[in-house]
Structure 1
Amino acid sequence: MKKKKSSPLCSSSIEVPVNNIVIKVLVNTGAAISLIHETTLHNMKHKPIDTCSLKEVHIANGGFISLIGLVHLNVQLNHFNTGVNVYVTWDLVCSMLLSQVG
């Protein structure tokens, strides 16, 4: 698997394979949705980005994140593969934020 260099802003992240590319993922079980930075997504093979009715989301610091669309990704956690619907954005400070899976 290819290893992708990630932003140092995600120092509390874990490295996991996402669509067979190892990236640093910030796991936030309190998050309502999963997000991936468009640049991170651009560096991996993936299904087409679907349009979505949700155009922005309110975040914990009171701001907003604009959304580009929705993509289905394969995330491997502890040797288990799971499909995750992930919103694509330019506004994320780390490579990927993974909400509670399941």
Structure 2
Amino acid sequence: MNYSLIIDNIWNVLVPSIIGNTVYDGLKTILGEVFDGLLAHKNNGNKKQFTETLTITLERNPEMVKQLEIFFQQKNTSNNISIKTGNIHAGGNVTIGNIKNG
């Protein structure tokens, strides 16, 4: 099976600035003990080792593959939220279109 989409999604969202957010926490929960090793490979810029480690893990755990597919499907749909009215409490700057407020 080709896991490239899952691998690319994880590689692209694992950045130091996401530590503590829902994506980070969700991936850490799904990936379990392999997460820290993957994060180390990402931080070292070693995509080859990252890919090899994650491929082996996914080949051995089809349930994890299903969980990751659902996770990324939900992540992609949750980004399509339309706010018509109300206040945004973001704890920092908010950019809407090309208008920055904060």
TM-score, with structure 1 as normaliser:
0.23
Report 1 or 2 for greater relative contact order, CA contacts < 8 Å, sequence distance ≥ 6.
Answer: 1
TM-score, with structure 2 as normaliser:
0.23
